[in-house]
Amino acid sequence: MFNTTTGSVLFSRDPIVTLGGIVLPAGTFPAPELFKLPARPHQEILQLKKQKCVGILEYLASGEVHSSMRVLTWLLKLEERQTQATLSGMSAEKLVLPEDLGLAGRIYGIIQYGGDFIYPTKVFRFFSSGKTSSLNLNHHWLCQLVRIQLQHFYEIKYWIPEKVLLKERKFPNIPDGVFDFDGLRFCIEVELSPKLLSAQESILKTYCDMLCEVPDPGAWANRVIFFTPFVDLMVERINEYARDEFKHLFFVQFLDPVVLSYKRGSYLLNDDLLKFLGSKD
C-alpha cells in the first residue's frame, strides 16, 4: 500500500478620557509616556546581518549556485521585504550577483568574493551572468523549496542538489536531489508535468534496480519520494511499472506547482511523510 498525501497549502490622536460617561477635563490624569521600542545594540545588528548573509552564501555554495528572493525568504524565514533588503546589501557588497530574467524575475548567484567570504580555501562553482535559462527556473526553485522545507522541519542531512549530481555522474538515474535521513538515503523527484509513459517506465525500473531496502553504505538509494501536483497519476504509474517487492519504497507527496509566498508553517509537513522518512521496514 502506498502512503499518499493530498492536501492544501498552509497559507499571518489623544483619546477623550471618560469616567462613567462623563467627559473629564484635560489634565485630570497625567499624560501616558510614549512607548519607545528598545534599540538593539549596533554589534547585535551587525551580527544578525552577518548570520543572514552567511546563511544565504552557504546555501548557494552547497551546489545550488543561484536562487530567487522568494525561495530565500523561506530559507531565512523572514518577510520578503527583509530578505530583499538583505540581498540588496549583499549585491552592493559584491557577495552575490543579481540578474534580471524578464518575466521570470530576478535571480541572485554566488560569485568569487561571496565564496571567499565563507570558504576562503574551497573551490566550487560560481554564478555567471547570461548563462541561466528561464525555461526550467520554476522547477529549479521548487526543488530548492522542497530541500528547505525538509531541512527546516525534518532536519535532514547531507543534501546533494541535481547540479552536483549531474557533474559527478554517480547515479544511473539522476534525481533532483539526494539526502540522508536516519541512516537511509532518499532520492527526490519533482515532477511538475506528466512524463511520457515510456520515460516514466524507464525511470521507475531504473530506480528499482538502484534501491536497497536496508541501510547499506554502498547502496545508490533506499527510498524514493515524488513531489508532484499529479498524485493519483504518479501512484497509478508506480503501481504499474515498479516491481511489487519495491513498491513500498516509493512515496508520493502533493506539491503545489507554484512557489508561494513564505508563511510561518510548512505545507510539506505531515504524519505520512514523517513515517515514510523514518520507516526501515
Read off the pLDDT of residues 79-124 as tens digits, 9 standing for 90 and up.
899 999 999 999 999 999 999 988 888 999 999 989 888 887 776 7
* pLDDT (0 to 100) of residue 14: 40
Which pLDDT belongs to residue 136? 83
Global pTM reads 0.79
Looking at the domain assignment, is residue 8 inside a domain? Answer: no
Instruction: State the pLDDT at residue 281.
Output: 55
**pLDDT at position 96, please?**
95
Residue 72's pLDDT is 95
pLDDT at 26: 47
Separation between Cα atoms, residue 149 and residue 156, nearest integer Å: 10
| Average confidence (pLDDT) per 10 residues, the chain, 281 residues | 39 37 47 58 76 93 92 91 94 94 89 87 78 85 92 84 80 86 89 85 87 73 91 91 89 86 67 78 55
All cell numbers assigned to 117: 567570504
Q: Which of 279, 154, 259, 126 is nearest to 215 (CA)?
A: 279
Is 24 part of any domain? no
138 within a domain of the structure (yes/no): yes
Report yes or no on 27 lying in a domain: no
Return the pLDDT at 166.
81
Q: Is residue 19 part of a domain?
A: no
User: Given this model, what pLDDT does residue 187 score?
Assistant: 92
- Domain membership flag for residue 169: yes
Give me the residues paired with residue 253 across strands: 5, 227
pLDDT at residue number 135: 81
Distance CA(259)–CA(101), nearest Å, equals 17
pLDDT at site 16: 38
Task: Report if residue 13 sits inside a domain.
Answer: no
- The total of structural domains in the chain comes to 1
Q: Rounded distance, CA 89 to CA 83, Å?
A: 10
Residue carrying C-alpha cell 524507464: 202
Its domain, for residue 57, covers 44-278
- Domain assignment present for 37: no
- CB atoms inside a 10 Å sphere around CB 98: 16
Inter-residue contact 190 to 259 (CB < 8 Å): no
